[in-house]
Structure 1
Amino acid sequence: MANEKQFPMTAAGKQKLEEELDYLKTVKRKEVVERIKIARSFGDLSENSEYDSAKEDQAFVEGRISTLEGMIRNAVIIKEDDMGNGIVQLGNTVSFVEVPDGDEEEYTIVGSAEADPLEGRISNDSPIAKSMLGKTVGDKVKVLTPGGEMEIKIISIS
């Protein structure tokens, strides 16, 4: 157990995972169990698609509960007072432009457990975040993406 992966995250990110876990345990799990009971009442389980679907949902819910419990158990909270030194690190919000003429983009670098690019949060394991970590404002950085190499310039760090 000592070699379990750690999950860096903000306190808010951990709170969100705890809320999802609570919902899955107290609401969703009961809903799925009820669906299984109803499906069983239809008779022959070998040809019961409702039963099969409910069992698949149950497996998904139980797997997600297990995943969330592990992430929460191995959470490493990013301290906000560690983020203000002018160097890109986990927890920072970074603005950058693609060189030579890209639009400005802004993302907060978070652990993989709370990454959501559509909400402006990218994983520290993503190519862009990996390339920016340890850099400062004004640095130009080459990023290797699945679509090829690009260069970005860091505009601000907060």
Structure 2
Amino acid sequence: MERQLLTREGHHDLLKEMDHIRKVELPKNVQDIAEARAHGDLSENAEYHAAKERQSILSAKLRELEEILSIAEIVHPLPEVGEKVVFGCHVTVFNPDNDEENTYQIVGQRESNPTMGRISLSSPLGQALLGKEEGDEIRFKAPGGERILEIVSVE
């Protein structure tokens, strides 16, 4: 597995998710298994089988998070980002096609969530933005065809 770039917030979120699985979800699932086991015959006990399946899913999720954190590289923002678009910064772009401005944060693939304004640095838009400055026009290929945006601000 290749290294995973994370912001400090993304690293914190993964640690929080692991902690929640360990302290809340797994203990509740153990209790669910015990309750289902108390109902008797396990061979035809749907609650028991569902709880055991849930335990497998939680354990797999926990292993996945541990693996990601073991290869994660936390990228701290530069003291002065300046004008250039870099990992972790917020970029406001203007789309002349629909006369709208949108703000995005450049993050790693694991943290990417376009509906929340967090785009991966390896996405077409992320790649087009990296290294550019306020006022630059960028062109990139999106699934719907080539798009042109103008960088309004970099924070």
Query: In the alignment, what sits opposite 2:61?
Result: 64
2:132 is the alignment partner of 1:135: yes
2:111 matches 1:111: no
Higher mean displacement: 148-157 or 87-96 = 148-157
Classify the secondary structure of the residue corresponding to 1:33.
helix
Q: For residue 20 of structure 1, what is the amino acid of its counterpart?
A: E
Gaps of 5+ in 1: none
The answer for the alignment partner of 2:78 in structure 1 is 81
**Which stretch of structure 1 is more off in the superposition, 11-20 or 110-119?**
110-119
Structure 2 Cα separation of the partners of residues 13 and 101 of structure 1: 31
Counterpart of 2:149 (choices 127, 137, 152) is 152
Give aligned pairs, total. Answer: 155
TM-score, length of structure 1 as denominator length: 0.85
Deviations 1:64-116 (A, max 9, x none): 11111122222212122266132212101000022344300001111122223
Residue from 36, 43, 53 that aligns with 2:33: 36
Q: Secondary structure at the match of 1:32?
A: helix
Q: TM-score, normalised by structure 2?
A: 0.87
SS in structure 2 at match of 1:106: strand
Decide which of 9, 15, 25 is 1:12's aligned counterpart: 9
Alignment-derived partner of residue 45 in structure 1: 42
Contact in 2 for aligned 1:83/1:89 (Cα 8 Å) = no
Decide which moves more: 110-119 or 67-76. 110-119
Q: Is the 8 A contact 1:83 1:92 kept in 2?
A: no
The residue matched to 2:78 in structure 1 has which SS? helix
Q: 5+ residue gaps in structure 2?
A: none
Moved over 6 A (4+): none
